[in-house]
Structure 1
Amino acid sequence: MSRFTSPLTLGILLSAYQLTGHTAGFALSEQSGSGLGNAYAGAAAVAEDASTIYFNPAGMTYIAGRQLVGALHTIRTSGDFNNQGSISPTGRPLGGEGGDFGGWAFLPNIYYKQDLTEQLKFGIGVGTPFGLKTEYDRNWMGRFQAVKSELKTININPSLAWKVNEQWSLGIGISAMWAEAELTSAANLGPAGVTTAKNKGDDWGFGYNLGAIYQITPATRLGVAYRSKVEQHLKGEVRSPSTVTSASPTQTLNTDITADLTLPETFSFSTFSQLDDRWDLLTDITWTRWSQFKELVIRRDNGSNSIVGSTAEHWNNTLRYSAGLNYRYTDTLKLRTGIAYDDEAIDNDHRTPRIPGNDRIWLSFGASWQYSPATKLDIGYTHLFIKDARISDDQRAAGRGLLSGTYEGSAHILSMQFAHNF
């Protein structure tokens, strides 16, 4: 297996991907249609609708009665690789630059909240906190590192909130998260030729989230929220039609694999201030502990517990900063805007074609229309300006060549949300 390390990419994919993930690593901020218009500024404090279940469950104490919220986010990512001195594996054609490896994605959220008592509230949310899909041309020059990458997640998040008094609200939630990853790449078999390999695996992981809101004045409140790490014990398989022949007996590339992976915790601090009868100011800082992802070890799942491969990671903790404004144009129409800046978790020296993103700026706009006393419609749009990323991924010693050049990319997000009280 020394010339075929594609099983490693299963864990690498689940560890990070920046361009499609929109925030540090491969996390998806798109958990609310109303929040998108503010670039998710104030998300842990605004408590505008039941989507607060994800951002800060304590916010349920600010929502009267029963409420159902549904949102759909349409995402279009674009990305291109520009070759600058790549070298193919010995005896293999270099290939093209891969084309546009972005694409379309559709992410839903749904939330339900109800009162248990005057002080105690219950809610449940279902959404997609992590995800990606990228696909290069099959014969591009980096095909031995990556061709197709797809990650799907579903998070189920029941929560409780308690209104302690007029100033304090507290919240807690439990997360059950399912993840499935699928990857394809070319495998260099040396004199035996080239084959393709498909990697697929899934797992359930569990975590929790906590939140608190403090009402400083009737017009201003602070929110803090914490989402715990989630331990994933991945089980998957590598499947290929070809075999590798060496001095020892023939080995098949087909194998079952396992890998332990820790998804990072996050901590958010948000503010919401009603400046006057027209304007609101929202801010947020979110910290993500990506540095705890230090090493990835992939093992055969055949009882021998032998190591397929391991790789050291070089991740940095990240900060996301955002600020937003609301303007109440009429009693039924609210206009939104926001801006955010996201750190990259990986530096230039450790970037791979599965992780080609960089720091980015969000520019967001949105509107809320109170259609009736019980029903509200939100729409939001964001453009992501992503800084060009340099890559020099030298894997010639492993028979996969050198990929050298720059990445450029951008993303568009359009969200619609429906909220109904009953």
Structure 2
Amino acid sequence: MKKVMLKSTIGLAVAVASSQIFASGFALNEQSISGMGTGFAGRSSAAEDASTLYGNPAGMSLLKRDQVTVGVAAIDAKTNIKNEKGGAPGGSNDGDMVPFTSVPMGFIVKQLGDGWAFGLGAYAPFGLITNYESDFAGRYYGKKSEVKVVTLQPTISYAFNDMVSIGFGPTINRISGQLTSAVPFAPTLGKNDGRVNVKGDDTAIGYNVGIIVQPTESTRLGLTYHSKVKYELDGHTNISGIGFGAYNGNRYKASLDITTPEIVDFSITQKLDDQWTVYAGSTWTRWSRLKDITVNNEGVPARLGGTAGPIGTSVEQQNWHDTWASAIGVSYKLNKEWVLRSGLSVDQAPTNNTDRSVRIPTGDRKAISFGAGYSPTDDLTFDVAVSYLKEEDVKVNRTGKGPAYSATYQNSAWGYGLGATYKF
């Protein structure tokens, strides 16, 4: 198995754009449609609906009523590849390798009395999908990456008084994925490539914990910690078209250890008057955990390189760095039924110019968001949101797995969200 194949397995997340998702690296922000409308500013302090179970579990005790929140976010990403050089002879560079995808979410919160609340949430904390055209020039460094993480989080919250609330919930995380790449096969380079296809999955435990402090009736501060999650993926690798007919279609056991990073989110929600509320926040993500990816395949015959060859044990350098994201947002209560929202966010990319991959060709980004909430009754609210994201141009330079390939990526994306909250 080519080591470049598993470069993106670091994400192993719900099917979403690798370079165009609305958070750094392969993290996802889309766990709240009301939060999406303000650019996710105030995510750990707003406690707008049951989606606070992810944003800050301490907020469940502040909701006062039992409620269910469901939603779906969709992402429409675009990529323009320019200044391309090398790669497979005669290969194409169409870009737009990210299909239109959706991210569902669902939360329920039950008030238990005496300051206690219980909740259950299902959402996607990380995400990745890219699928280049079959004759993509850089296909030796990545062809298709489709990975998923689905998280279930039972959570408890307690309000000590009107000022301080806390919350905690373990996370049960299921990760699975499929990755493919081409293998150059001389003498028909670029015309008769081989193919490597890998699948793997695992289930691992983490936790989310948060605190909310409300020093005045109009000011609310929130701090949330999302723990690291360590995965030990087991799966298999299939090989085809490599020129050694006896080995085509063979399957080899594969393993990979991956740890998704800690995330710390701090925000403030400031109510200015009965109509205007301002939100601000910052998020730190410990992407520096990702130094390299080591993949092991068992039982690879010597003719294919054995355990020390490119289809055996391999190490891919990543050297990601920690990142900061910041956002500011505002909401305006037009009347009893309608609230309007807007937000602006900036987000650092964890990648570097030396190790950046065709699977995750991501750069620093800025996004602007707009949203609205409509409450036809006191028990029901519908939320909508739209966001536009633009990344800085980034360069990809890959060597060692076939002809060298380099290109400039221009990434952008539209995000759309629709949700509903029912109180009972």
TM over 0.5, shorter chain: yes
Equivalent-residue separation in structure 2 for 1:99 and 1:285 (angstroms): 32
Name the stretch that deviates more: 59-68 or 218-227. Answer: 59-68
Q: CA deviation at 1:79?
A: 1.1
Match for residue 103 of structure 2? 107
1:13–1:149 contact (8 Å) kept in structure 2: no
Residue 289 (structure 1) aligned with residue 254 (structure 2): no
Equivalent-residue separation in structure 2 for 1:44 and 1:12 (angstroms): 26
1:78–1:103 contact (8 Å) kept in structure 2: no
Instruction: Give the AA of the match of 2:172.
Output: A
Match for residue 420 of structure 1? 422
* Distance 1:407-1:198 versus aligned 2 partners, 3 A rule: same
2:12–2:128 contact (8 Å) kept in structure 1: no
Q: Secondary structure of the residue that 2:22 maps to in structure 1?
A: coil
Deviations 1:147-173 (A, max 9, x none): 211112211011000001121000001
Deviations 1:316-364 (A, max 9, x none): 1000100000111112211100000000001212211011111111100
Equivalent-residue separation in structure 2 for 1:374 and 1:145 (angstroms): 52
Equivalent-residue separation in structure 2 for 1:9 and 1:100 (angstroms): 19
Name the stretch that deviates more: 46-55 or 60-69. Answer: 60-69
Write out aligned runs for 1:201-350 (5 A).
Answer: 201-243=200-242, 245=244, 254-301=251-298, 308-350=313-355
Match for residue 130 of structure 2? 134
Q: CA deviation at 1:302?
A: 5.4
Match for residue 198 of structure 2? 199
Match for residue 11 of structure 1? 9
Match for residue 174 of structure 2? 178
Q: Secondary structure of the residue that 2:399 maps to in structure 1?
A: strand
Equivalent-residue separation in structure 2 for 1:273 and 1:17 (angstroms): 33
Equivalent-residue separation in structure 2 for 1:295 and 1:390 (angstroms): 20
Name the stretch that deviates more: 352-361 or 127-136. Answer: 127-136
Q: CA deviation at 1:94?
A: 3.3
Instruction: Give the AA of the match of 1:124.
Output: L
Residue 60 (structure 1) aligned with residue 65 (structure 2): no
2:198–2:237 contact (8 Å) kept in structure 1: yes
Q: CA deviation at 1:111?
A: 0.3
2:328–2:343 contact (8 Å) kept in structure 1: yes
TM-score (normalizing by structure 1) = 0.92
Match for residue 73 of structure 1? 73
* Distance 1:348-1:18 versus aligned 2 partners, 3 A rule: farther
1:20–1:132 contact (8 Å) kept in structure 2: no
1:95–1:140 contact (8 Å) kept in structure 2: yes
Instruction: Give the AA of the match of 1:27.
Output: A
Deviations 1:203-238 (A, max 9, x none): 112100110000010100100000000001111211
RMSD: 2.3
Name the stretch that deviates more: 222-231 or 75-84. Answer: 75-84
Equivalent-residue separation in structure 1 for 2:11 and 2:403 (angstroms): 20
1:333–1:370 contact (8 Å) kept in structure 2: yes
1:243–1:252 contact (8 Å) kept in structure 2: no
TM-score (normalizing by structure 2) = 0.91
* Distance 1:213-1:12 versus aligned 2 partners, 3 A rule: closer
Gaps of 5+ in 1: none
Name the stretch that deviates more: 297-306 or 182-191. Answer: 297-306
Match for residue 402 of structure 1? 404
Equivalent-residue separation in structure 2 for 1:238 and 1:372 (angstroms): 54
Equivalent-residue separation in structure 2 for 1:371 and 1:394 (angstroms): 58
Q: Secondary structure of the residue that 2:354 maps to in structure 1?
A: helix
Instruction: Give the AA of the match of 1:221.
Output: R
Q: CA deviation at 1:276?
A: 1.1
* Distance 1:392-1:412 versus aligned 2 partners, 3 A rule: same
Equivalent-residue separation in structure 1 for 2:28 and 2:148 (angstroms): 11
Instruction: Give the AA of the match of 2:134.
Output: R
Residue 392 (structure 1) aligned with residue 391 (structure 2): no
Match for residue 373 of structure 1? 378
1:364–1:380 contact (8 Å) kept in structure 2: yes
2:239–2:248 contact (8 Å) kept in structure 1: no
Equivalent-residue separation in structure 2 for 1:344 and 1:100 (angstroms): 20
* Distance 1:128-1:261 versus aligned 2 partners, 3 A rule: same
Instruction: Give the AA of the match of 1:200.
Output: K
2:240–2:247 contact (8 Å) kept in structure 1: no
Q: Secondary structure of the residue that 2:40 maps to in structure 1?
A: coil
Residue 31 (structure 1) aligned with residue 27 (structure 2): no
Name the stretch that deviates more: 192-201 or 161-170. Answer: 192-201
Name the stretch that deviates more: 323-332 or 236-245. Answer: 236-245
Equivalent-residue separation in structure 1 for 2:274 and 2:382 (angstroms): 21
Match for residue 303 of structure 2? none
Q: Secondary structure of the residue that 2:139 maps to in structure 1?
A: coil
Equivalent-residue separation in structure 2 for 1:280 and 1:318 (angstroms): 27
Residue 149 (structure 1) aligned with residue 145 (structure 2): yes
* Distance 1:353-1:122 versus aligned 2 partners, 3 A rule: same
1:244–1:253 contact (8 Å) kept in structure 2: no
Instruction: Give the AA of the match of 1:121.
Output: A
Q: Secondary structure of the residue that 2:114 maps to in structure 1?
A: coil
Equivalent-residue separation in structure 2 for 1:338 and 1:202 (angstroms): 36
Q: Secondary structure of the residue that 1:371 maps to in structure 2?
A: coil
2:194–2:243 contact (8 Å) kept in structure 1: no
Q: CA deviation at 1:146?
A: 1.4
Gaps of 5+ in 2: 301-305
Q: CA deviation at 1:244?
A: 5.7
2:241–2:248 contact (8 Å) kept in structure 1: no
Equivalent-residue separation in structure 2 for 1:251 and 1:415 (angstroms): 44
Residue 161 (structure 1) aligned with residue 160 (structure 2): no
Q: CA deviation at 1:176?
A: 0.6
1:24–1:343 contact (8 Å) kept in structure 2: yes
Q: CA deviation at 1:117?
A: 2.3
Equivalent-residue separation in structure 2 for 1:20 and 1:186 (angstroms): 23
